Amino acid sequence: MKEVNEEVGRLGRPLAPQSIEALSALLSRYDPSRFDEAAFVKEEADADARLYRDPRFRAGLVATLEQKVADYREAS
């Protein structure tokens, strides 16, 4: 995850801490011998849904789209 975050960061769009946490949690449960693609896709979709409900993540996303600096004080 650290390598991915650094690579994405070099592109000027670092991963949000919430994204890193979600991806780390998802990948920590990965077991190649018991991999169930449908279950993995559902878990990933559920993690995405949780991210978009996170007020800090939304504040950062909106600020990025509006090309502004996010004000996280209002997103607690």
| C-alpha torsion angle, residues 54, 60, 61, 62 (rounded to 10) | 110
Token output for 65: 């789209």
Q: What is the pLDDT of residue 5?
A: 64
Q: What is the pLDDT of residue 71?
A: 84
Q: What percent of the chain has pLDDT over 70?
A: 83
Q: What is the pLDDT of residue 65?
A: 87
**pLDDT mean across residues, the chain:** 83
Question: Which of 55, 2, 40 is CA-nearest to residue 24?
Answer: 2
Where in the chain are the domains?
2-75
Contact (CB, 8 A) for 51 and 22: yes
Q: What is the pLDDT of residue 46?
A: 94
Q: What is the pLDDT of residue 1?
A: 63
pLDDT < 50 positions in the chain: none
